Structure 1
Amino acid sequence: MSTREPVTLQSDWETTLLPWMRDIAAHLEVGGVDLDVDRVHLMTGVVADGVQRSMAPISAFLVGAAVARGAGLEEACAAVESLTRERAGQRRPG
């Protein structure tokens, strides 16, 4: 489990990260999306640790697709984490 500081508590959240995220959302015409950045980061950390770091952004994309189709963010993140932990447990010897 990650012990990193939540993204929204980082010193550059208000000055750099949040404005960047809002600009991207506006450009992609998905403004107004209720996004829990820290929850997504927590989920991608589980994927990075349990599968491979390169799959973290892929998992975020898939969660976004699920949310776009009506799933709740928490529900989708929890499902990814559960499956990731389950598969990681199956790969361990013993």
Structure 2
Amino acid sequence: MSERILNLTLEIIYLLTGEKFTAIKTESGRLSITLDPITDPPLRLFKHGKKNKKILEVTNKILELLSGEERGHLQGHKVRMKDHYPQTSAVPVCLLRE
């Protein structure tokens, strides 16, 4: 899951800057992030609103991954935690100003 979150984060960086980064897992199991040699200017093929919408979609994917992991962790502590956290199935949503 960490690798998926990292890839989504790199996608957001690309949308913001036009620079493509690649995450590569080394033999030791660590991730190495490199800048691709060919970079584009910030995405001109996306209009400003479309780019913001795409960033919002990718950010929401990250939040879904993180909140799913948190809920899974809390299941084991449900009895102790039920008074502290309201039980809801809502997924947090990130809002970007246009």
Q: Same fold (TM over 0.5)?
A: no
TM-score by length of 1: 0.30
TM-score by length of 2: 0.29
Which structure has the bigger radius of gyration?
2
Higher-helix-fraction structure: 1
